[in-house]
Amino acid sequence: MDFQRILTAQSKLMASWAGVPLDAHGVLRRLNCGGRQPPVFWIFNVADEPSRLAEALGPDQPVLFGRSLHILIAPGDPDRERMIAEMAAYYAGALAALPGWSGLRVGATCQGSGVALRAARALMTMGRGVSSVSLIAARPRIRTDLPALLIHGSRDPDHDPFRQDPVGAGIMARHCFRSFRRAVVDMAHREYSDEANVAILADLLQEFWAALPPDPRATARSTILES
């Protein structure tokens, strides 16, 4: 599948998603538009996840988001890695074109990590400020040299490489990230975005971000949130 078809498919799938579109195709969106915190860029998998996380993080935390390619677009495509790389490059370009932000907080849930981490790396190559990455139920495999928060579920062993190979997972995490913190929550794989659980994840994220060194380039308010 060529990238234009991927983009068209993403656009159709996200047409009913919450949030204000930030690009011509509607695949990069925003919630909590008036927030003053450094923005989050998150790759989600299903439509209800963005609103739940944005609400749990609170109105002062702007959330920019896209969608992974995990189902309906590239579930078993032999060119899946190329497609993920192209989607990440598109998101990075769209984010870089937005004025007035710094200290971007990048994150993803499960299979969205491939898009999110590649987008973060591309943005840093462009000289745009990315402060950290946060991954839920994901395997770190892409090097960013950023501080990372890795969240896994105690009842989700299939998506926790530290349960399967603690030594190997630690070596890989140290290779991929400047530093990393691991948090284990009492959740199964399809429970991370449940209303009862998302507040727990939001608390972990905010605690992690609060401990990061301040970005000297950060401004009091980002112009991408004004319109």
Residue with tokens 């000289």: 127
* 161 burial type by CB count under 10 A (0-12 exposed, 13-18 middle, 19+ buried): buried
Q: Is the dihedral of CA 209, 180, 88, 51 positive or negative?
A: negative
Collapsing DSSP to helix, strand or coil, 20 comes out as strand
The answer for residues whose C-beta is within 8 angstroms of residue 81's C-beta and 6 or more apart is: 114
- How far, in Å, CA of 211 to CA of 187, rounded? 24
Single-letter amino acid code for the residue at 42: W
Question: What is the pLDDT at residue 71?
Answer: 61
Collapsing DSSP to helix, strand or coil, 26 comes out as coil
pLDDT digits (tens, 9 = 90+) for 153-199: 999 999 999 999 999 999 999 999 999 999 999 999 989 999 889 99
Contact 111, 192 (CB under 8 A): no
27 φ, ψ (degrees, to nearest 5): -100, -10
pLDDT digits (tens, 9 = 90+) for 22-77: 999 999 999 999 999 999 999 999 999 999 999 999 999 999 999 998 765 555 55
pLDDT digits (tens, 9 = 90+) for 64-120: 999 998 765 555 556 778 889 999 999 999 999 998 888 999 999 998 999 999 999
- Domains of the chain, each with CATH number or no CATH: 3-212 (3.40.50.1820)
Residue with tokens 């928060």: 149
Res 218 pLDDT > 90: no
- How far, in Å, CA of 19 to CA of 113, rounded? 21
What angle (nearest 5°) sits at the alpha carbon of residue 46, between those of residues 79 and 48?
165
Single-letter amino acid code for the residue at 58: G
Question: What is the pLDDT at residue 162?
Answer: 96
The answer for residues whose C-beta is within 8 angstroms of residue 113's C-beta and 6 or more apart is: 43, 135, 138, 139, 140, 142
Res 4 pLDDT > 80: yes
Residue with tokens 């308010």: 221
Question: What is the pLDDT at residue 55?
Answer: 97
**Cα–Cα distance list, 88 to 67, 68, 110, 131, 208 (Å):** 10, 9, 15, 17, 24
The answer for residues whose C-beta is within 8 angstroms of residue 26's C-beta and 6 or more apart is: 11, 14, 15
Question: What is the pLDDT at residue 146?
Answer: 97
- Global pTM value: 0.92
Question: What is the pLDDT at residue 188?
Answer: 95
